[in-house]
């Protein structure tokens, strides 16, 4: 849970929380509303119709509310094998998360078999005794186990049948460490069976990390569209030569991509435990191609769970038209940072090659942050650079912390700061905030007048991604003995396709 930074309201907030607690207590004492809803399954693992399931797999059900055991059986059936497991047996457990039921088959499943799972009515109830009613009419839970010589598959993302699939990547997780074999992954749009991507497993778009295989899609999939994936047998193998059996039919791995959130919030990375986008657009970040270290996640005393970027680590958001700011497109970004300033000018957030300020795109960077401690100190401290993609026409803008009046606070003082940059193309003004307070250089129009720009704020030739803790090229910080030592903490990265107002920026400053 992130801490609130608007300290003057702490006492009032405490009083409000006390009032809410009293109201809640009263409600708990006198609310006699009866829950009459039956518990329902919200996810199945293995997912229905999936193939290549390990024979030693457990079956896992996640319900929409806390449950307890009832009475009845779980029946697991194939042509050669049937297991009838009483829900009251030790083979069925409810975990720390009281919504999750785990079924451990009494023996390994048979290889290369299609299994159907039957869930009897009443095997679980909610905490008030309302029964689970069994699988809904017309619904079946089936899956196929891996063959005798096949490579067991533990998980897929997107889940088969899901409606929130990523536009940018496919992930397969196997039961053992694996390596590349030979063949292709192919993605088809279901409507018309149109092939939209064919990716050779030998190429850089397929990344193997232990048990996980990530297939990066060069061209994003469409929002709210149905797809299926085919994979050649033998594309992935393990150390013993067992081969992935592949996906050979359109029903093997099919899903629908996310519909998106339909709001101005393009991406929101909470950075609590991973690089996942929580906005609903599934613009998940990934480790940078030239990373020499991993982004880790730690618990900070002030902000809670945050990302730790050590020397050599950085992350990139996916490439998409929504992350390619046009000359007329307003956009904003905001992020929390905490680091000890160093010399030189390492990039913190960028979509530009920072090797030259004349390169298209934007850069948020420090500049002499080892000497700039705030008003009256030496050095520039930190800056925001904008350059339009105008075919070599000079149109660079620079906002610098030491040139504002009054001078901006330091950002590299090993304290948490929220930096927000607003590109307002309607008013043709650049706004730069630190901790929700705007700082301007009123005597230098090229620091705020967006009429300076003559092209869009992205590099149409190199198409650099939005990048955290590096420049767009991914090699600027790492290419210098001083810059490559940059390390620090990052939290709550947000990107909008609109110009945030001062009120909205203030609201972000007190969030969580």
Is there a single domain that holds both residue 389 and residue 475? yes
Is there a single domain that holds both residue 134 and residue 187? no
Instruction: Specify whether the CB–CB gap between 474 and 466 falls below 8 A.
Output: no
Question: Is 285 among the domain residues?
Answer: yes
Whichever domain contains 249, its CATH number is 2.60.40.1220
Question: Is 243 among the domain residues?
Answer: yes
Domain boundary, last residue among 256, 278, 296: 256
Question: Is 374 among the domain residues?
Answer: yes
With helix as H, strand as E and coil as C, how does 24-92 read? HHHHHHHCCCCCCCCCCEEEEECCCCCCCECCCCCEEEEECCCEEECCCEEEEECCCCEEEEECCCCCE
Is there a single domain that holds both residue 114 and residue 173? no
Cα–Cα distance for residue pair 144/50, rounded to 1 Å: 6
Is there a single domain that holds both residue 335 and residue 244? no
Is there a single domain that holds both residue 168 and residue 92? no
Question: What angle (nearest 5°) sits at the alpha carbon of residue 175, between those of residues 172 and 179?
Answer: 65
Per-residue pLDDT of the chain (512 residues; tens, 9 = 90+): 444 444 333 333 433 344 444 444 443 444 444 566 899 998 888 888 888 888 888 999 999 999 999 999 999 999 998 999 999 999 999 988 899 999 999 998 998 899 999 999 999 999 999 999 999 888 899 998 988 767 888 889 998 888 999 999 999 999 889 999 999 999 999 999 999 999 999 999 999 999 999 999 999 999 999 999 999 999 999 988 889 999 988 988 999 999 999 999 999 999 999 999 999 999 999 999 999 999 999 999 999 999 999 999 999 999 999 999 999 999 999 999 999 999 999 999 999 999 999 999 999 999 999 999 999 999 899 999 999 999 889 999 999 999 999 999 999 999 999 999 999 999 999 999 999 999 999 999 999 999 999 999 999 999 999 999 999 999 999 999 999 999 999 999 999 999 999 999 999 997 65
Is there a single domain that holds both residue 475 and residue 350? yes
Is there a single domain that holds both residue 68 and residue 176? no
Question: Is 140 among the domain residues?
Answer: yes
Is there a single domain that holds both residue 357 and residue 332? yes
Domain boundary, last residue among 256, 279, 296: 256
Question: Is 27 among the domain residues?
Answer: no
Number of domains in the chain: 3
What pLDDT shows up at residue 35? 60
| Domain of residue 229, residue span | 153-256
- Which among 341, 303, 349 is positioned nearest to 494, based on CA atoms? 349
Is there a single domain that holds both residue 291 and residue 187? no
Domain boundary, last residue among 256, 274, 293: 256
Cα–Cα distance for residue pair 494/500, rounded to 1 Å: 11
Question: Is 251 among the domain residues?
Answer: yes
Is there a single domain that holds both residue 250 and residue 269? no
What pLDDT shows up at residue 159? 87
Enter the DSSP assignment of 373: -
Instruction: Specify whether the CB–CB gap between 318 and 279 falls below 8 A.
Output: no
What pLDDT shows up at residue 34? 55
Is there a single domain that holds both residue 410 and residue 491? yes
Cα–Cα distance for residue pair 306/489, rounded to 1 Å: 7
């Amino acid at each position: 849970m992130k801490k609130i930074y608007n300290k003057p309201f702490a006492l009032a907030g405490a009083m409000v929380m006390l009032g809410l607690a009293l109201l809640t207590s009263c409600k708990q004492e006198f609310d006699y509303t009866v829950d009459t809803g039956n518990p329902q399954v919200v996810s199945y693992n293995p997912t229905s119709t999936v193939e290549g399931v390990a024979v030693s797999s457990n079956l896992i059900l996640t319900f929409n509310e806390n449950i307890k055991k009832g009475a009845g059986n779980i029946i697991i059936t194939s042509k050669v094998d049937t297991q009838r497991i009483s829900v009251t047996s030790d083979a069925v457990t409810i975990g720390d998360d009281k919504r999750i039921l785990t079924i451990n088959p009494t023996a390994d499943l048979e290889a290369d078999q299609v299994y159907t799972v039957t869930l009897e009515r009443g095997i679980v109830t909610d905490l008030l005794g309302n029964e689970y009613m069994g699988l809904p009419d017309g619904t079946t839970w089936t899956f196929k186990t891996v063959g005798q010589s096949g490579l067991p598959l533990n998980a897929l993302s997107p889940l088969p049948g899901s409606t929130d699939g990523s536009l940018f990547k496919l992930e397969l997780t196997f039961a053992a460490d694996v390596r590349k074999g030979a063949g292709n992954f192919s993605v088809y749009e279901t409507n018309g069976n149109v092939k939209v991507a064919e990716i050779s497993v030998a190429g850089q778009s397929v990344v193997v990390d232990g048990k996980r295989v990530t297939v990066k899609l060069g061209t994003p999939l469409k929002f709210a569209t149905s797809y299926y994936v085919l994979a050649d047998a033998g594309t992935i193998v393990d150390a013993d030569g067992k081969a992935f059996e592949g996906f050979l039919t359109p029903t093997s791995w099919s899903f629908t991509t996310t519909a998106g959130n339909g709001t101005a919030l393009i991406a929101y990375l909470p950075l609590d435990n991973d690089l996942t986008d929580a906005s609903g657009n599934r613009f998940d970040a990934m480790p940078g191609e030239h990373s020499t270290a991993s982004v880790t996640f730690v618990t900070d005393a002030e902000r809670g769970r945050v990302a730790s970027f050590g020397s050599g680590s950085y992350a990139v958001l996916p490439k998409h038209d929504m992350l390619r700011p046009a000359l007329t497109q307003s956009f904003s970004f905001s992020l929390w940072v905490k680091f000890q300033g160093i010399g030189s000018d390492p990039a913190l957030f960028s979509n530009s090659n920072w090797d030259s300020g004349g390169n298209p795109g934007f850069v948020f960077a420090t500049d002499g942050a080892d000497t700039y401690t705030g008003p009256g100190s030496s050095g520039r401290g930190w800056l925001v650079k904008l350059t339009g993609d105008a075919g070599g026409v000079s149109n660079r803008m620079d906002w610098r912390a030491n040139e504002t009046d009054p001078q901006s606070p330091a950002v590299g003082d090993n304290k948490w700061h929220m930096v927000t940059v607003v590109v307002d193309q309607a008013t043709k003004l650049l706004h730069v905030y630190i901790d929700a307070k705007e700082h301007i250089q009123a005597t230098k129009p090229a620091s705020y007048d967006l009429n300076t720009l003559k092209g869009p704020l992205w590099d149409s030739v190199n198409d650099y991604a939005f990048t955290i803790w590096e420049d767009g090229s991914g090699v600027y910080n790492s290419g210098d003995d001083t810059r490559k030592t940059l390390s620090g903490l990052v939290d709550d990265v947000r990107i909008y396709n609109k110009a945030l107002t001062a009120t909205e920026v203030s609201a972000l400053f007190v969030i969580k």
